[in-house]
Amino acid sequence: MISIEIAKYFQSGTILAVTALSIAAFQSWQNRDARHMLQGNNSQLGLIVIALTAYCLIIGNRPLSGVLFGDTANYAMTYGWVKLEDVRIGIGEYEWLFAFITALCAKYVDVSVYFTVIMFGYMFFALGGLRRLFGNNTYGALLFYMGAFSFFTYATNGIRNGLACSIVILAISFIATERKNYVAYALLCMAAFFIHKSSALPIVCSMAALFIKNPRPLIYFWFLSIVLSVVARGAIESFFTGLGFDDRLSGYVQAADAYADQGFKGGFRPDFLLYSFMPILLGMVVTSKTGTSDRTYRILLSTYTLANSFWVMMMNAAYSNRFAYLSWFLYPVVIAYPCLRMNVWGKSQGRIAGTILMAHTAFTLFMTFIYY
């Protein structure tokens, strides 16, 4: 297990490394037109796998610190109970797959190996989805993915949510690309749900996205959800908590006022709202320039917009960022796709794609080193 003295630099080290690689990509993309951007570079896949393997081994062997890594300490404590006393992990009855993984690991390996297994799942399920969605541009997509400000949090804090959402990325790739496989999609969706049942939200949204030919009405609905979150807060919260897809949601709603009284940033979040709007704004630009003929982008944008509208209407709940992640995990995928897989800006494609990547990474730098 790696010492706290070293581990305290994991988050900053991750974003600084991704920033350095993003700067290099920004420079190399400057003179590339759309044709050259869409070609990508297939030779980098082996290096990506080696680098991510090393990264997973490092993060998996982090110290059991709740200060540095949030719920890591709680997961470790639960793991210890399962290992020593053979008790049933205290999660929902539908989330038996995560309980099974935990019990199986507890029988044979220590907690560092357990966290490493979860970390490998978090990274490589997502990598599989990115590979299917972006092809030869997987490296560029990975820079967007690891440059997202929620990336590290769900690698070390909300690890069950992160693992489930990574599986959803892979699942969506089986319905959004030309190589469709609805059986694989269904099996992966069930796996994600049985790890964290709140993943039902993006799963249902992805199903709905299959039938949406034009995402613009969803964008209008996203703006309407802002109004609803203000004028119909009580009715909206009662409706969603009554659905029962995550038992903790009602507790978060009820705790919202106390959460704010303790000095935490809750309630209406214009900063998170602005952040959430960026893929939608880009979607408005892209669809106005290219139309809605790209089926993959249409599904990605529609899934994100629908799922994020849920968070907008529920943003007054305590810990609402945990529900925001049910759309935010798609954020880097949605902004990367038109940059790397669509001819949107012609001769300026590389320059604009690089600028978007740098703005995306700069926001994470700001959140990591200044805001928090």
Q: Taking the mean position of all CA atoms in its chain, how far away is CA 231?
A: 29
Domain boundaries, the chain: 4-371
Amino acid identity for residue 141 in this structure: A
Per-residue pLDDT tens over the stretch 212-242: 999 999 999 999 999 888 886 666 666 666 5
Q: CB of 296 within 8 A of CB of 135?
A: no
Residue 170 tokens, joined: 């892979």
Q: CB of 332 within 8 A of CB of 356?
A: no
Q: CB of 196 within 8 A of CB of 98?
A: yes
Nearest to 147 by CA among 294, 331, 291, 298: 331
Q: What is the pLDDT along the chain (372 residues), one digit of tens a residue?
A: 888 889 999 999 999 999 999 999 999 999 999 999 998 877 688 999 999 999 999 999 999 887 888 889 999 998 988 888 765 665 556 789 999 999 999 999 999 999 999 999 999 999 999 999 999 999 999 999 999 999 999 999 999 999 999 999 999 999 999 889 999 999 999 999 999 999 999 999 999 999 999 999 999 999 999 988 888 666 666 666 655 555 555 555 544 444 444 444 555 678 889 999 999 999 999 999 998 889 999 999 999 999 999 889 887 765 666 778 899 999 999 999 999 999 999 999 999 999 999 999 999 999 999 876
| 258 DSSP 8-state letter | H
Alpha-carbon gap, residue 183 to 334, rounded angstroms = 24
Per-residue pLDDT tens over the stretch 1-29: 888 889 999 999 999 999 999 999 999 99
Alpha-carbon gap, residue 245 to 21, rounded angstroms = 39
Alpha-carbon gap, residue 235 to 231, rounded angstroms = 9
Nearest to 327 by CA among 316, 339, 315: 315
